[in-house]
Each structure stands twice: as C-alpha cells, then as structure tokens.
Amino acid sequence: MDPAGAARQTAGSKDGGWKTSNSAHHAMDTHPMDYYTAKQYQIPELQGISRKNIDAHLELYASYVKFSNHVVNRIRELSKDEDHAYELSLLQRRLAYEHNGMKNHEMFFEQFEGGPGACAPEGPFRKQISDDFGSFDELVACLKGVAMTRGIGWTMLYHCHNTGHLIPHWVDEHHIGLLSGPRLILALDMWEHAFVYDYPTSEKKKYVDALFENLSWIKVEARFGKTEAMVNRSVLKPA
C-alpha cells in the first residue's frame, strides 16, 4: 500500500476518517451516500505483470472509491457548520487526491481489458501521431521517457480539442500538475504499488516496458475519437 493510503487508514477516527464533532460523526454514520461505486474489470493474464500485483492493485483502487465517498460525505455534513471550517478546508484539498486516484485507476485498468491491441494503421489517430511525433514508435519512446520521471505519479497522454495536438505529460501523485482543457486519453500508473510484487524500484524500466507490451491502443484510440468529434464541432461552430 502507498504511504498516503496508509495515512488514510490511520488519520482521524478509528474508521480511517477525519475527526468531526460527535453529532456530525453520528449524522454521517446514519445517512452516508455512495456517490461512487467501484467498477469491476476483467483483466487477462499480462506479460510481465503478475496476477498477484493486479489483484492487489485493484484492491487499492477500491480504497480510493471508498475514501472518495467518505470525503464527499464529510464535506456534505461539515459544510453546514462554520465551526468545522478548518476541517472542511482540509477535506476539500484531500478530495482531489482521492477522486483523481479513483478516476486515474479506472482509466488505467480499462486499457488492459481484452488484452493488447494495436490502433488502426491508418486514420485520424495515426495521422495525429505522425504530425506530432513523426511515427508511432517515436510516440511510444516519448511516453516511456516521461514514465521514467523520478518520483510517484502518472504518465499521461492528452488530446487537446482546441488545437488537435497530442500532449505527453507527467502528473505528480494523482492530482498535482493536471492539465485543464485537454482530454486525457491514456493514463499509466507509475506508483511503486503498481509493480511492487514484480520488480524492485531499480528495475522500473522493466515494468514500463511491460505496460506497453500489454496496452490496448484500441481503447486509447477510441478516447481520441471522442475528442476528435469535439474538435470537429468546434471548427463547425458558428462565430
């Protein structure tokens, strides 16, 4: 489990929550709401990534769903009470971590369902790759370079619906440095929990290579197609 995950379980009340007044805690225990539900993923056997690591990773994802619900419920209660303004401000900041940890993982796991798959050899996605990087291999090399960034975080590929360009990017933790505007079409988990059972940290490159061996570019291309439609709509939109 990542250090932040451990902190979530030990901070605040015994159930891993944040400290509130007794009345607020009772209200949350009585009327909690599930804003988010953990998704189920059918991930086949992967080359270079063990079933043990996949299963542990899915359990960690479920904890992000749990604590996203937990934080939102706390905010819902505490926002009515000015005496808890400080706790509320902490929760508001924490929500980005938990929520993006949840959503990033959902995009991550989806990319491996159905096994590896190549994108279409011709079409808008391939053309944009060629325009921005010269070739598909150059795009992969660029993303692998981003993935070797020191520290914990995510390798992202965005598609800007305003310019049409593909933008490789690194995000610290789950939420620090996210780009506003461009649509996220690829997310690769570079936290150590993603490969802890398979590789030591000194062999992170082997994990990165394994990701690209198993990645479904079909899923990535489908996400690109959604933003491509947005680009076309913006072009056709009357002034």
Q: Where does CATH 3.55.40.20 sit in the chain?
A: 124-236
Q: Which fold has domain 124-236?
A: minor pseudopilin epsh fold (3.55.40)
Q: What is the pTM of this model?
A: 0.81
Rg (CA), the chain: 20
Give mean pLDDT in consecutive 10-residue pieces for the chain, a chain of 239 residues: 45 37 44 90 97 97 97 84 85 95 98 95 96 98 98 97 95 95 97 97 97 97 79 48
* Secondary structure (H, E, C), the chain: CCHHHHHHHHCCCCCCCCCCCHHHHHHHHHCCCCCCCCCCCCCCCECCECHHHHHHHHHHHHHHHHHHHHHHHHHHHHCCCHHHHHHHHHHHHHHHHHHHHHHHHHHHHHCCCCCCECCCCCCHHHHHHHHHHCCHHHHHHHHHHHHCCCCCEEEEEEECCCCCCEEEEEEECCCECCCCCCEEEEEEECCHHHCCCCCCHHHHHHHHHHHHHHCEHHHHHHHHHHHHHHHHHHHHCCC
Q: What are phi and psi of 139, to 5 degrees?
A: -65, -45
pLDDT (0 to 100) of residue 9: 42
pLDDT of residue 4: 46
What integer pLDDT is reported at residue 226 of this predicted model?
A: 79
